[in-house]
């Protein structure tokens, strides 16, 4: 077992919602690629393009485990990934295993609020992998995955990328809370079309914005895309209570049906600073 701790500059409720997303956790781990989603009513696994056919949200997935070996090579094995499961107050558990039963793992996140905008995360990770005797003799055993996943993936992500994610969410919340008395953001352009044409338009508009937000709406799907220095910095899409970010968010747009509407907002930094003082 490996244990570690880190403090995040974000409210505990926000961090909890982040950790409760199994696709985010699998992606950050660096060693779990989700292949299929378990429909527990039909008792079958569905590929991502059939996600809308799920009879209920799921916490069980068919995955590909990517195992790093001590000689720098990789070994791949299919298996099952399960979570999130609530284990205690502010505790979340994920676990899984490979189909050949050679790998079993578990990771627990225990959160503790440290005031209004600070959260402590305690990691408790266990990885059991049965290397063959020959692999041990040849020096090709797996590395300490329990430590590797926490230190080299989760803690690295939090230190390098998480603050940008928090800032993005705060930017979206600011725009959604804006009123005529604080900040006015009329769209500078609008577009209506199918999923393919909307994605093409998003790419076109992105290269023209210094700082702005692109909002996309289809039936049952809403997306917000932050653009900075003519590059897409973050994308978030919500559909049927599920939230996806970045590439997975854009994939949700690609699979959207019917006609969608896109609105483009240019943001003035001075206006944001003024609105922050008003909303504080």
Cα 243 vs. chain centroid, distance in angstroms? 8
pLDDT tens digit sequence for 205-216: 988 888 888 999
CB 48 within 8 A of CB 58: no
What pLDDT, on a 0 to 100 scale, did the predictor assign at position 107? 96
For the cut 60, the answer to whether the pLDDT of residue 179 exceeds it is no
What is the rounded CA–CA span in Å between residue 254 and residue 193? 12
Q: With bands split at pLDDT 50, 70 and 90, how would you rate the model's confidence at 254? A: confident
For the cut 60, the answer to whether the pLDDT of residue 183 exceeds it is no
Please state whether the predicted TM-score (pTM) of the whole model is above 0.75: no
Q: With bands split at pLDDT 50, 70 and 90, how would you rate the model's confidence at 74? A: confident
For the cut 70, the answer to whether the pLDDT of residue 29 exceeds it is yes
Q: Who's near 156: CB < 8 A, 6+ residues apart?
A: none
pLDDT tens digit sequence for 100-154: 988 999 999 999 999 878 999 999 999 988 777 556 655 666 668 899 999 999 9
What is the rounded CA–CA span in Å between residue 261 and residue 251? 16
What is the rounded CA–CA span in Å between residue 25 and residue 149? 11
Exposure string for 202-222, b = 16+ CB within 10 A, e = fewer: beebbeebebbbbbbebeebe
Q: With bands split at pLDDT 50, 70 and 90, how would you rate the model's confidence at 277? A: very low
Which of left, alpha, beta for 134 (phi over 0: left; psi -120 to 50: alpha)? alpha
pLDDT tens digit sequence for 35-58: 999 988 888 998 877 776 776 778
**Tokens coding 42:** 């039909």
Instruction: Return the closest-CA partner of residue 21 out of 246, 252, 245, 256.
Output: 245
Top-level class of domain 2-172: alpha beta
For the cut 70, the answer to whether the pLDDT of residue 188 exceeds it is yes
What pLDDT, on a 0 to 100 scale, did the predictor assign at position 69? 78
For the cut 90, the answer to whether the pLDDT of residue 192 exceeds it is yes
For the cut 80, the answer to whether the pLDDT of residue 280 exceeds it is no
**Tokens coding 275:** 């609105």
Domain residue ranges in the chain = 2-172, 189-279
- Calculate mean pLDDT across residues 170-174: 57
What is the rounded CA–CA span in Å between residue 246 and residue 229? 17
164 or 254: which leads in pLDDT = 254
């Amino acid at each position: 077992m490996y244990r570690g701790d880190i403090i995040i500059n974000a409210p505990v409720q926000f961090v909890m919602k982040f950790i409760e997303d199994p696709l985010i956790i699998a992606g950050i781990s660096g060693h779990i690629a989700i292949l299929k989603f378990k429909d527990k009513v039909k008792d079958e696994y569905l590929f991502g393009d059939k996600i809308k056919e799920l009879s209920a949200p799921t916490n069980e997935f068919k995955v590909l485990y990517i195992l790093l070996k001590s000689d720098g090579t990789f070994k791949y094995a299919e298996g099952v990934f399960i979570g999130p499961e609530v284990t205690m107050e502010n505790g979340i558990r994920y676990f899984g295993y490979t189909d050949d039963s050679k790998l079993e793992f578990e990771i627990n996140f225990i959160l503790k609020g440290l005031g209004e905008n600070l959260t402590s995360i305690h990691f408790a990770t266990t990885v059991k992998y049965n290397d063959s005797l020959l692999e041990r003799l040849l020096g090709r055993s797996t590395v300490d995955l329990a430590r590797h996943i926490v230190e080299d993936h989760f803690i690295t992500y939090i230190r390098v990328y998480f603050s940008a994610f928090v800032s993005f969410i705060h930017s979206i919340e600011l725009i959604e809370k804006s009123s005529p008395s604080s900040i006015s953001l009329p769209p500078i352009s609008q577009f209506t079309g199918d999923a393919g044409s909307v994605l093409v338009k998003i790419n076109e508009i992105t290269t023209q914005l210094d700082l702005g937000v692109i909002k996309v709406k289809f039936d049952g799907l809403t997306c917000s895309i932050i653009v900075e220095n003519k590059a897409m910095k973050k994308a978030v899409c919500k559909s049927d209570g599920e939230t996806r970010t970045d590439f997975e968010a854009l994939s949700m747009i690609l699979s959207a049906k019917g006609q969608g509407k896109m609105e483009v907002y240019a943001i003035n930094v001075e206006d944001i600073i003024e609105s922050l003082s008003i909303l504080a």
